[in-house]
Chains A and B, each alone.
Chain A
């Protein structure tokens, strides 16, 4: 069964500093990869996704993630964070072999941006 590991449960970072959130998944076969963001007391919003093509994917608010098949990783980065980026970030994998498009989530990384 697929598993997703987010190595850092919390990442404190100062405003305008860079941040990297690490995500590793267990299966090396065909997968789709996602990063979702959850702001306090809200639902999950898709931040970015990798389905195929270029291994570097970007979001409209400055985040980017790189799919690395050999390392089974999909790390999320932002070169300069804002206070508004304070949230919980979830990496998720959809295993193309599995029926039903199940998303398997990592445990989440809480990003706390300090002024």
Chain B
């Protein structure tokens, strides 16, 4: 009964392909996120959704499109993959966006390798 689960854990694909990463949380949280961790371990937010509504889009290329079918799911679709997209992508969730609700719970990450 993993709190925040992502699939797949590893993804190896060729340049130009389109791929999706799925994320589900069973914590009943209202807010979900995608973070990217590069090869130097630097973590940066990409998107944030609150109750299925996009609230943060951190200057991410249009090739990245998040989709939130419901509060418990936030998927990430990437078109026309490039070598520079290789990274670990983390999904996270939090109860909300204020006070003690700001604590974020992270998934195990998806290591994307573009060859």
Other-chain residue from B31, B40, B105, B107 in contact with A101 (beta carbon distance below 8 A): B31
Can you list, as one digit per residue, whether each of B33-51 has a CB less than 8 Å from chain A (1) or not (0)?
A: 1010000111111001010
Contact A105/B56 with A43-B108, A44-B106 known, Cβ cut-off 8 Å: no
Residues of A within 8 A of B101 (CB): 101
Q: Which of B11-19, B69-77, B78-86, B90-98 contacts A (4 or more CB under 8 A)?
A: B90-98
**B44 and A105 contact, CB distance less than 8 A:** yes
Residues of B within 8 A of A32 (CB): 102
- Measured in the bound complex, the distance between the Cα atoms of B101 and A103 in whole Å is 13
Query: Once A and B bind, how many residue pairs between them come within 8 Å at the CB atom?
Result: 66
**Nearest opposing residue in chain A for B43, CB measure:** A105
Q: Any chain A CB within 8 A of the CB of B99?
A: yes
Q: Any chain A CB within 8 A of the CB of B55?
A: yes
Interface residues of A in 38-60 (CB under 8 A from B): 38, 42-46, 49, 51
Residues of B within 8 A of A105 (CB): 42-44
**A100 and B48 contact, CB distance less than 8 A:** yes
**B100 and A101 contact, CB distance less than 8 A:** no
**Nearest opposing residue in chain B for A104, CB measure:** B45
Q: Any chain B CB within 8 A of the CB of A88?
A: yes
Q: Any chain A CB within 8 A of the CB of B104?
A: yes
- Measured in the bound complex, the distance between the Cα atoms of B107 and A88 in whole Å is 16
- How far, in Å, is A49 (CB) from chain B's closest CB? 6
**Nearest opposing residue in chain A for B6, CB measure:** A43
Contact A107/B41 with A100-B50, A100-B55, A102-B56 known, Cβ cut-off 8 Å: yes
- Measured in the bound complex, the distance between the Cα atoms of B100 and A51 in whole Å is 7
Name A's B-contacting residues (CB within 8 A): 32, 34, 36, 38, 42-46, 49, 51, 88, 90, 94, 96, 99-105, 107-108, 110
